[in-house]
Homo-oligomer: A and B are copies of this chain.
Amino acid sequence: MESRIVNLRSKLDVYKAMTDGGNIADCPVRDVIQGLNGKWSSLLVMALAEKPYRFGELRRLVPDISQRMLTQTLYDLQRDGYVHREVFPTKPPSVEYSLTDLGRSMFGPLYELVQWAELNHDAVRGARAAFDARI
C-alpha cells in the first residue's frame, strides 16, 4: 500500500504542472472528474450498470430526483459518452438508457470508490460528529 502510493507520486506531478504552468482545462480532474460531480451522476451510473432502464423506471428507482434533474443528468451523461439513449417509436414513446462501453469502463473505478464509501461510511459519520462536538 505504501509502496503503491510512492509509485504514484510522479504521476501526481502531472497535476502540479497543470496548475502551475500548463493549461488548466487539460487537467483530467477538472475536465472529467468534475463532470461526474453532479448530485445524481454517480447514482445513475450505478443504476444503469446493473441493466438498461427506461425514464420512468429510473424515476421510481431514485425517488428523490426531480424530473428536470433526471432529464438533465441523463443528457449530460449522454453528452460525455457514458450513456446511450435509444428511442422506441411506440405510442406512447418509450426511451431506454444504457451504459456505453466508455460508461462501463468508468463504472469499474467508480464502484471501487463506492465500495470504499460504503465500508467507511461510519468512520466519516463519526468524524463529522466528533468535529461538530468539538465546536
Given A12-B49, A28-B118, A106-B120, the answer on whether A128 and B43 have CB atoms closer than 8 Å is no
Alpha-carbon separation in the docked complex, A81 to B122 (Å): 11
Alpha-carbon separation in the docked complex, A128 to B81 (Å): 7
Per assembly, the copies of the chain total: 2
Given A5-B107, A102-B123, A127-B80, the answer on whether A114 and B28 have CB atoms closer than 8 Å is yes
Alpha-carbon separation in the docked complex, A128 to B78 (Å): 9
Minimum CB–CB distance from A134 to chain B (whole Å) comes to: 10
Is A69's CB within 8 Å of the partner chain B?
no
| Chain A facing B: main interface SS | helix
Are B117 and A33 in contact (CB-based, < 8 A)? yes
Chain B residues whose C-beta falls within 8 Å of the C-beta of A39 in the assembled complex:
34, 37
We find that the number of chain A residues with CB closer than 8 angstroms to chain B is: 67
Chain B residues whose C-beta falls within 8 Å of the C-beta of A125 in the assembled complex:
31
Are B8 and A29 in contact (CB-based, < 8 A)? no
Given A43-B15, A64-B19, A121-B28, the answer on whether A78 and B131 have CB atoms closer than 8 Å is yes
Chain B residues whose C-beta falls within 8 Å of the C-beta of A93 in the assembled complex:
none
Are A33 and B42 in contact (CB-based, < 8 A)? yes
7 cross-chain pairs, A with B, having the tightest CB-CB distances, nearest first: A81-B127, A32-B117, A28-B117, A109-B113, A109-B112, A37-B37, A28-B118
